[in-house]
């Protein structure tokens, strides 16, 4: 399998690109190189291809100064500016895990017909906008338990865990921009155990993700005790358009998928009742 190699000629927008070809073997982090080749795009991934002749890449040895990560918000990954930072070393600061598994329920991948887990989670900073992080790539020990028994090894990343910063390469695949951390040092200031503290102390209704959305989104909430829970969706006129939960749930964190394919674009509200706890949040459907 060919390694993933990225180069940058500075920091910030449009400064990085992916390399493809046999000449990349043997390169190390910090090498200064000159590259000649064709810039191409395949499956929406931009790279310099054709580095196979032995003459298109010149390694000048270690650079005097390395590349510092560029600080961005998690909201960048869902904005129109994201493509400018593809293949660039970026850093999120003061983030929290808002979804252990971006593509299904928390826990291992069960294959076709079961729960899917492709090794991706969701982080969010103070912007409140989630961004995907890919755990399967890179040479580090962090994971979201995409394999059975994986929680016995490495470092499991759970919902409500916090990091003072997470650094990585911005990558694009399967319709999503995502952060690819490289080594354990890219994960700084991890705080664990927040899920248990939150579960034990209070009710909590999170902002749905993604938001805006089309046509599906996820609503996360936490209840500190077993309770009768009602979770409903309303339009701007106060009319109920969906009944997502209506029954008794165990204490802990819960994740509910909402598919609005039959609804029109616009503002909607989701309302939770759990015992004496009531909370309402707004979301936007954009088709």
pLDDT at 275 over 90: no
pLDDT per residue as tens digits for the range 100-115: 999 988 889 999 888 8
Instruction: Cis check for the bond before 163: say yes or no (omega within 30 of 0).
Output: no
The model carries a pTM of 0.68
pLDDT per residue as tens digits for the range 179-192: 999 999 999 998 76
pLDDT at 197 over 60: no
More confident call, 191 vs 67: 67
Residue 200 pLDDT level (bands cut at 50, 70, 90): very low
Domains of the chain, by residue range, sit at 5-62, 70-192, 201-285
Domain 201-285 has CATH 2.60.40.1930: yes
Predicted confidence at residue 195, as pLDDT, reads 45
Predicted confidence at residue 198, as pLDDT, reads 42
| Residue 79 tokens, joined | 């904005």
Residue 14 pLDDT level (bands cut at 50, 70, 90): very high
More confident call, 67 vs 135: 135
| Residue 188 tokens, joined | 């700084």
More confident call, 201 vs 180: 180
Predicted confidence at residue 153, as pLDDT, reads 85
Average pLDDT over the chain, rounded to an integer: 89
Find tokens 């921009």 and name the residue: 177
Residue 215 phi, psi (nearest 5): -100, 0
| Residue 283 tokens, joined | 């979301």
161 contacts: CB under 8 Å, gap ≥ 6: 96, 97, 190, 191, 192, 194, 195
Spell out the CATH class of 70-192: mainly beta
More confident call, 268 vs 44: 268
Cα 262-215-101 angle, rounded to 5 deg: 135
Mean pLDDT score, 93-106: 90
Predicted confidence at residue 1, as pLDDT, reads 54
């Amino acid at each position: 399998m060919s390694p993933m190699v990225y180069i940058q000629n500075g920091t910030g927008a449009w400064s990085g690109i992916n390399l493809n070809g046999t000449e990349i073997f043997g390169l190390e982090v910090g090498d200064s190189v000159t590259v000649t080749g064709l810039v191409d795009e395949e499956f929406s991934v931009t790279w310099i291809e054709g580095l196979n002749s032995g003459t298109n890449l010149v390694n000048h040895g270690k650079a005097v100064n390395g590349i510092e990560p560029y600080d961005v918000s998690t909201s960048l990954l869902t904005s129109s500016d994201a493509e400018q930072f593809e293949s660039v070393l970026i850093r999120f600061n003061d983030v929290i895990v808002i979804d252990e598994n971006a593509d299904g329920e928390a826990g291992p991948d069960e294959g076709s017909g079961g729960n899917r887990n492709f090794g991706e989670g969701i982080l969010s900073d103070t912007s409140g906008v989630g961004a995907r992080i890919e755990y399967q790539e890179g040479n580090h020990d962090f994971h979201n338990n995409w394999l059975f028994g994986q929680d016995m090894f490495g470092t499991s990343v759970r919902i409500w865990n916090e990091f003072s910063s997470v650094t990585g390469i911005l990558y694009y695949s399967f319709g999503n921009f995502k952060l690819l951390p490289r080594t354990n040092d890219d994960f700084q200031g991890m705080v664990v155990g927040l899920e248990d503290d939150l579960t034990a102390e209070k009710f909590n209704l999170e902002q749905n993700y993604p938001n805006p959305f089309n046509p599906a989104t996820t609503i996360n909430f936490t209840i500190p005790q077993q309770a009768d829970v009602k979770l409903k969706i309303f339009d701007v006129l106060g009319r109920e358009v969906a009944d997502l939960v209506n029954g008794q749930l165990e204490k802990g964190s819960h994740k509910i998928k909402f598919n609005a394919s039959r609804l029109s674009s616009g503002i909607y509200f989701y309302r939770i009742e759990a015992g004496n706890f009531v909370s309402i949040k707004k979301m936007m459907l954009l088709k």
